[in-house]
Structure 1
Amino acid sequence: MDELRRQGKEQYVGFELQMAGARNVKAARALLADYDNDIDKLKAAEPWLFGAGAAAPAQMGATGLPNAGAATDEGATMRR
C-alpha cells in the first residue's frame, strides 16, 4: 500500500511539473528537492528548465537528403 502511495505522489509531482511547463520533468524532479519541493521557487530560480526561459531551437524540416525510398531518375526510367 505504501508503494502505491509513493507512486501516486510521484505521478502527481510529474503532472504538476508538466502543467508548470517543465521541458524535462526528470531534471526538474531532481532539482525540486533543492527548492523545498516548491515548483514556483524552482520555476523562479531555474527559468531555463521551463517554457518561459530561452527558446529551444525548433527542428526545421528535412535534412536535405533524399528519402531512402525515393526513386531517382534512373529508377523511374527503368520502370517505364
Structure 2
Amino acid sequence: MEFPPPCRDGNDSITSSALSPMGVKLPSSFLSSSHRRALLRKESEISEWGRRIRELGTQLSEEAERLQAASVEFSYLQRVR
C-alpha cells in the first residue's frame, strides 16, 4: 500500500491537514489530537535530521579545506627537501 504525499502549504512546509487514501484533502479537525501530535513529532524529527545533515555538510567542507591546505603544505615541504 502506498501512502499519499504530505500536504504542503504556500511556504512548502508540511501542514497538519492530511490526505485520505483517495488523495482528498481532509480538514485538520478530522485528525485526532494524538494524530496531530504524532504528525508534529515526525515533522520535528525531519527538521532535526535536516539540521544534522546541514551540519555534517559544513563539517565536510571545513575538513576538505583543511585537507587541501595540508596537501599544499606537504608539496612545499617536498620541494624544499
The alignment's TM-score, normalised by the length of structure 2, stands at 0.34
More contact order relative to length (CA 8 Å, sep ≥ 6): 1
Structure 1 or 2: more helix by fraction: 2
Q: What is the TM-score with the length of structure 1 in the denominator?
A: 0.35
